Amino acid sequence: EGQQLSEEIRLNQVGFYPDGPKKAIVPGKARGNFYITTSDFADTLYTGKLGEELKSVHSSKTTREANFSQLKATGTYVVAVPGLGHSYPFEIKQDAYQDVAKASIKAFYYQRVSTALKPEHAGKWSRLAGHPDNKVLVHASAASKSRPAGTVISSTKGWYDAGDYNKYIVNSGITTATMLSVYEDFPEYFKTMKLQIPESNNALPDLLDETLWNLRWMLTMQDPGDGGVYHKLTTPQFEGMNVKPAEARQPRYVVKKSTAAALDFAAVMAQASRVFKKYEQELPGFSDSCLVAAKSAWKWAGKNPAVLYNQDEMNKSFDPDVSTGAYGDKDVSDEFDWAAAELYLTTKDESYYKAIKAIPHKNMELPSWGQVRLLGYYSLARLQNELTPVAKKDFPKLKTALVAFADKLAAASQNNAYKVPMGSAASDFVWGSNAVAANQGIALVQAYRLTKDKKYLNNALANLDYLLGRNATGYSFLTGYGDKTPKYPHHRLSVSDEVEEPVPGLLVGGPNPGQQDGCTYPTKIADESYTDEECSYASNEIAINWNAPLVYLASALEALKQE
């Protein structure tokens, strides 16, 4: 019985750890026993009972849990449910998410700007160089005394932000910080990881080499005349979906300095200065340059504390009009706190710490490109043993707040149709909801690091299960990893090349009932509002700030699995 594939059985399509929790979610109409069999159905290794009926908070659907955590033998299996069918085959193995961790980092290499990708590194996704960005124009909105409008500057390298070809400092901020943070939290794990990138044979861990590609670009976005940082480097309009990097001809501009850009830049550069201090020999002076850049951006922000990026306003006064991504944050108080925390941790100068408004702030909000306060808290927690007296005194309160934040997430997974922290609130399903799931995972890993309570790690893992298939859509949202994965992401690199499969290792945005792209969706139900179509930039685009928290989550689970 059960020998026909049922996509209604939802589970992490990549696999499970032998000693970890293992769950599939099946429709509520199923009842009775379920079986774990070998993928040829010959042997039944485990018989379990489906759980109580669980109600979705987003639709009238109900589910039941099939818990087979007790099965620990490595192998390839299916979940079989009488009357329903069987799941995709899945593996129980050590290092279950090692490939996911590596692929999600390698995806950043595929996003590199200003360079050719060679076959020995990129395989069939090799491509010609594009967007040299060595002749970028200063947009009228960004003109300064030393750099009047039309000045040509060089601003090469960096990562393409997403499915488009532009580079945005605000979004690079959280992304690059998340990459540096996973390294700072788990340096041992990255020591030997090889990604087959051009720098794989140098002395730096590949993760840091990849991150350097973007840091080098970010540094060029600071006006040396005053320390201000351009908000973005962009074409006036998005390129067509079929334009390859090497064929793109629109002029590129650096656009308007903003407070958010200066502060995100300051935070990242302060953290980079810390991380690369150990590599003085390989990168002489780099760490110091980062700190100098961070301090002058911080000073600029102090003098210009409320320059918010408002594209419509900008277009009223300056030509040419710019219609690409805005990343227009309207509240930069969290950016001030984050930059202050990173500058404090790198310099141990308490005047930076005193610039943080309150520790902890009463609004604990999950990190996203526009909400970065917790990034600073994570760093304070990471370096808790290095705090000076003022900060040390506050730390117990901060720890309590971080753990309480994770407690809410962990509790939410208890009354959720997929038994995951993600999606308990309708507000989780924003544009880029998959990054909400991944960032919740990071918050849970942080709580685990503070308490060593496995509950947090298991809930972080549950959100990875969510991303890799245990969700209301039945997709594993990571290109190339899982059985049912996005084939048509809104991603110019994947659309414009001649390769059938999309670039691998990219996390798509995920369910978003906003449906701002006007594509055809299967439903308006929040947790199912996803469509695997090129047109769907609101649910099926990829973005560096969505990949980075997946890098963190998968790498952290791999690094911590022995504990």
Place of tokens 């490939």: 99
What's the token pair of residue 171?
Answer: 């979004």
510 touching ligand 9MR, by CB under 6 A = no
DSSP annotation of 509 reads -
161 touching ligand 9MR, by CB under 6 A = yes
Q: Which is nearer to ligand 9MR, 206 or 534 (CB)?
A: 534
Task: Tell me the residue nearest to ligand 9MR as measured from the CB.
Answer: 325
Identified binder of ligand 9MR from the candidate list 164, 264, 465, 533, rule CB under 6 A: 164
Minimum CB–partner distance for residue 435 and ligand 9MR (Å): 8
Kindly identify the residues of this chain, within the stretch 295-334, that bind ligand 9MR according to CB under 6 A.
325-327
Separation CA 459–CA 474 (nearest Å) = 19
Q: Which is nearer to ligand 9MR, 133 or 164 (CB)?
A: 164
Whether 40 sits among the annotated catalytic residues: the reply is no
Separation CA 122–CA 124 (nearest Å) = 6
Whether 532 sits among the annotated catalytic residues: the reply is yes
Which of the stretches 159-167, 261-269, 391-399, 450-458 binds ligand 9MR when contact is defined by CB under 6 A? 159-167
Q: Which of 468, 467, 471, 512 is nearest to 490 (CA)?
A: 512
- φ, ψ dihedrals at 454, nearest 5°: -60, -25
Contact predicate 461/442, CB 8 Å: no
Query: Cβ neighbours of residue 340 under 8 Å, at least 6 residues apart?
Result: 298, 352, 353, 355, 356, 376
Whether 288 sits among the annotated catalytic residues: the reply is no
Minimum CB–partner distance for residue 338 and ligand 9MR (Å): 18
Which of the stretches 68-76, 182-190, 344-352, 537-545 binds ligand 9MR when contact is defined by CB under 6 A? 537-545
Identified binder of ligand 9MR from the candidate list 189, 300, 537, 552, rule CB under 6 A: 537
Identified binder of ligand 9MR from the candidate list 182, 541, 554, 559, rule CB under 6 A: 541
Query: Cβ neighbours of residue 361 under 8 Å, at least 6 residues apart?
Result: 334, 337, 373
241 touching ligand 9MR, by CB under 6 A = no
Q: Which is nearer to ligand 9MR, 215 or 543 (CB)?
A: 543
**Secondary structure percentages of the chain, helix, strand, coil, to 5:** 40, 15, 45
342 touching ligand 9MR, by CB under 6 A = no
Q: If binding means CB under 6 A, how many residues of this protein chain bind ligand 9MR? A: 11
Minimum CB–partner distance for residue 325 and ligand 9MR (Å): 2
Q: Is residue 187 packed enough to be buried (19+ CB in 10 Å), middle (13-18) or exposed (0-12)?
A: middle
Q: Which is nearer to ligand 9MR, 530 or 537 (CB)?
A: 537
Minimum CB–partner distance for residue 179 and ligand 9MR (Å): 17
Query: Cβ neighbours of residue 285 under 8 Å, at least 6 residues apart?
Result: none
What's the token pair of residue 552?
Answer: 């963190």
Q: Which of 400, 388, 425, 410 is nearest to 526 (CA)?
A: 425
Minimum CB–partner distance for residue 432 and ligand 9MR (Å): 5
DSSP for 315-374, please give it.
HHHSSS---S-----S--HHHHHHHHHHHHHHH--HHHHHTSS-SS-S-----BTTB-HH
Identified binder of ligand 9MR from the candidate list 66, 543, 544, 551, rule CB under 6 A: 543
Q: Which is nearer to ligand 9MR, 122 or 430 (CB)?
A: 430
From the candidates 164, 210, 428, 541, give the one annotated as an active-site residue: 541
Minimum CB–partner distance for residue 516 and ligand 9MR (Å): 7
What's the token pair of residue 523?
Answer: 């439903």
Contact predicate 233/259, CB 8 Å: no
DSSP for 215-261, please give it.
HHHHHHTB-TTT--BEEEEE-SSPPPTT--GGG--S--EEEEE-HHH
Separation CA 265–CA 272 (nearest Å) = 10
Minimum CB–partner distance for residue 442 and ligand 9MR (Å): 17
Minimum CB–partner distance for residue 166 and ligand 9MR (Å): 7
162 touching ligand 9MR, by CB under 6 A = yes
Q: Which is nearer to ligand 9MR, 154 or 516 (CB)?
A: 516
From the candidates 231, 490, 497, 528, give the one annotated as an active-site residue: 490
431 touching ligand 9MR, by CB under 6 A = yes
Interface ranges with ligand 9MR (CB under 6 A): 161-162, 164, 325-327, 431-432, 537, 541, 543
List active site positions: 490, 532, 541
